[in-house]
Amino acid sequence: MYRLLSAVTNRAVTHGSCAWGCGRRAAHQRAGLPPLGPGWVGGLGLGLGLALGVKLAGGLRGASPAPPTAAPDPETPPQAEPLPPQEQPLAQWSPQTPTPPHSRRFARAIDRSRDLLHRIKDEVGAPGIVVGVSVDGKEVWSEGLGYADVENRVPCKPETVMRIASISKSLTMVAIAKLWEAGKLDLDIPVQHYVPEFPEKEYEGEKVSVTTRLLISHLSGIRHYEKDMKKVKEEKAYKALKMMKGTMESDQEKELKVKGGKSNEKNDFAKAKIEQDNEAKGRNSKPCKKKNDFEQGSQFLYSTFGYTLLAAIVERASGYKYLDYMQKIFHDLDMLTTVQEENEPVIYNRARFYVYNKKRRLVNTPYVDNSYKWAGGGFLSTVGDLLKFGNAMLYGYQVGLFKNSNENLLPGYLKPETMLMIWTPVPNTEMSWDKEGKYAMAWGVVEKKQTYGSCRKQRHYASHTGGAVGASSVLLVLPEELDAEAINNKFPPRGTVVSIICNMQSVGLNNTALKIALEFDKDRSDMP
């Protein structure tokens, strides 16, 4: 061993003195320092030889030497020692996994709901979808599936910002309700009182009165995106005829069935159209005063443009610009990520929006300017903000029931009587996303109903869906069925709120949201 070390040392002195010594000594001399002596080279060679000797000796014994322990770097985080495979720690929680504190209580509902969302996403080919669920005012699950940005592979997460489309109408309704509660807005006087430049309307030669209440519930007669009103009327007549055939049969139809005769829907529609044309001709031929085809407020015609007029009414009644007034409401409701959609501002976590072309290829949607319809379909938001909004509405709806048992409760953002008015179905309206319901005031409402014992039980809930260029959305509120005994030792809000947003247009999400709400309501009911 001694001879081996001596040989290594001698080689290090002779060869290493040129390789190390020359280069290092030259650099030392270039720096203007005193010349290095031969002892420096010898010491380096001796140290290198000893190190190599130790390594060779360890190899001869068949054991690898333990690596020296390095001093910890203050800027490098400590790393945990590797564990055996069976003891490896679980992956860190990410925004795409359920919120840990509450996920265990609703594990079954979360698994079922996640599977349902995967099915819907795959069925429609949506790039990304985000869901949020709260129970009794607490967020218990939020998760993103797929991509918010396909090109850059940015995954969806609870913080992803998307277009909420027509849920914007429900937000605008809060502004109207606050002004109505303050006595600054009358819902039943002509809109010209607030917006005098809006022209008076006529129908069939007679003036009609357009009020704020009629605008809210889409009964004013102001059209939607479709410009051809004849086409709109034909579609509505066909739907009305189809609904009539599905719900009731006249005595004449019964006789035809007995005789074996049955007319198809197209013939019925053609007859209805001929009768409508004949009535129009008859009215035009009469010299007397013309009458409206329907009484004001009796025909439902969904209109986003009507909410643009409501935004102008909010401005005149409040004295603020519409967006400024809405930002104050968002601040009060703690909806800090909800903003109007604009192209220029940098909005963190904003998703991209997609559509399929004629070849069924995924493409980016064209640029759209939604500033003309902020009030009816132009806001951006997250599932978390929508949950906050839904719970604020649910709290105001229920707080009146709890006042007698708990006088220390804070008031709701809207009064109980206001929320009762907003969530009361309006006659002669339709709820396109659930035929069981009616449109109320910027919300669709399905009332509690059970026709037969031990059969289907229809739950009371309120919701609004949204559809925009490259986006679909829903916000659904399922209140708890409360009685006098259930109120004791409980606090509002009581119920389940579900919000879903998606960066693909024409995706029906209300039925999915209702199924998810019922899953969480079941887990909630099974708890002691």
Place of tokens 């720096």: 31
Cα(276)–Cα(127) distance, rounded to whole angstroms? 45
**What torsion do the CA atoms of 163, 165, 167, 168 make, to the nearest 10 degrees?**
90
Tokens of 115: 């599977």
State the DSSP string of 300-367. Answer: ----SHHHHHHHHHHHHHHSS-HHHHHHHHHHHTT-TT-EE--SSS--TTBPP-EEE-TTS-EEEPPP
Residue 266, φ and ψ in degrees, nearest 5: -65, -40
The number of C-alpha atoms within 13 Å of 226 and in the hemisphere containing its C-beta is 13
Q: What is the DSSP string of 6-64?
A: HHHHHHHHHHHIIIIIIHHHHHHHHTTPPPPPHHHHHHHHHHHHHHHHHHHHHHHHT-P
Listed residue (308, 322, 314) closest to 377, CA to CA: 308
Q: What is the 3-state secondary structure (H, E, C) of 115-183?
A: HHHHHHHHHHCCCEEEEEEEECCEEEEEEEEEEEECCCCEECCCCCEEECCCHHHHHHHHHHHHHHHCC
DSSP letter for 186, please. Answer: -
In the set 113, 142, 166, 381, the catalytic residue is: 166
Is 405 one of the catalytic residues? no
Angle among Cα 200, 202, 207 to the nearest 5 degrees reads 75
CA distance 66 to 68: 6
Structure-derived torsion over alpha carbons of residues 228, 230, 236, 242, reported in degrees to the nearest 10: -130
As given in the structure block, the two tokens for residue 349 are: 């976590």
Beta bridge partners of 461: 446
Q: How far apart, in whole angstroms, are the C-alpha atoms of residue 397 and residue 382?
A: 23
Collapse the DSSP code of 208 into the 3-class scheme (helix H, G, I; strand E, B; otherwise coil) and give the result.
strand
Q: Which residues are catalytic?
A: 166
